[in-house]
């Protein structure tokens, strides 16, 4: 039960964009360098985020990416669910997978788990994360002064 690196990288990418929201587009190249991630791999990820309407893309020289909405209007759930399936088991949505779902009590366990996961991630916005990050950064700087 691990979240994929795709989702983790995707969230970091979104945070990089959130962090400079309002300051124009960012090149994938720069984000990849800053976050120390493969640009090629990130390009797959950002394309999915674009298809999901979470970022806007501009092609050509001086192109780049921007967040499609303000940070408070994008949740971690939005990001994660476009990059991987947040339902921890298939038989909740497709009862056909396990025979005799009517009799299976495990099904209810996984349904509740799925609900807990999405509830948790849906209630954290990128703006929340920005606030945490800035607070952490303050403490960090203070500590090392």
The residues binding ligand FES (CB under 6 A) are 91, 98, 101, 104, 106-107
| Dihedral over alpha carbons 79, 84, 87, 91 (to 10 degrees) | 150
Applying CB under 8 A, does 119 fall inside the site for a second copy?
yes
The token duo for 81 is 């669910």
Burial-class residue 88 by CB neighbours within 10 Å (0-12, 13-18, 19+): middle
Using DSSP's 3-state secondary structure scheme, residue 55 falls into strand
Applying CB under 7 A, does 28 fall inside the site for DNA?
yes
Applying CB under 8 A, does 38 fall inside the site for a second copy?
no
Which listed residue (33, 58, 108, 139) binds DNA by CB under 7 A? 58
Number of residues that bind DNA (CB under 7 A): 26
The token duo for 41 is 């791999």
Which listed residue (69, 89, 95, 122) binds a second copy by CB under 8 A? 89
Which listed residue (12, 54, 64, 92) binds a second copy by CB under 8 A? 12
Alpha helices in 25-125 (DSSP H): 28-35, 39-51, 76-83, 106-122
Which listed residue (33, 34, 47, 123) binds DNA by CB under 7 A? 47
Beta bridge partners of 57: 65
Applying CB under 8 A, does 110 fall inside the site for a second copy?
yes
Which residues of the chain form contacts with DNA (CB under 7 A)? 2, 4-6, 9, 27-29, 38, 40-41, 43-44, 46-47, 50, 57-65, 84
């Amino acid at each position: 039960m691990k979240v994929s690196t795709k989702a983790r990288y995707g969230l970091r990418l979104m945070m990089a964009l959130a962090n400079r929201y309002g300051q124009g587009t960012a090149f994938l190249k720069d984000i990849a360098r800053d976050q120390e991630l493969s640009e090629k791999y990130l390009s797959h990820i950002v394309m999915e985020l674009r298809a999901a309407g979470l970022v806007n893309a501009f092609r050509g020289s001086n192109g780049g990416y921007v967040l499609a909405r303000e940070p408070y209007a994008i949740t971690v759930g939005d990001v994660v669910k476009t990059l991987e399936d947040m339902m921890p088991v298939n038989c909740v949505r497709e009862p056909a997978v396990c025979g005799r779902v009517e009799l299976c009590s495990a099904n209810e366990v996984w349904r509740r788990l799925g609900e807990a996961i999405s509830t948790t991630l849906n209630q954290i916005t990128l703006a929340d994360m920005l606030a945490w990050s800035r607070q952490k950064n303050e403490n960090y700087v203070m500590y090392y002064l």
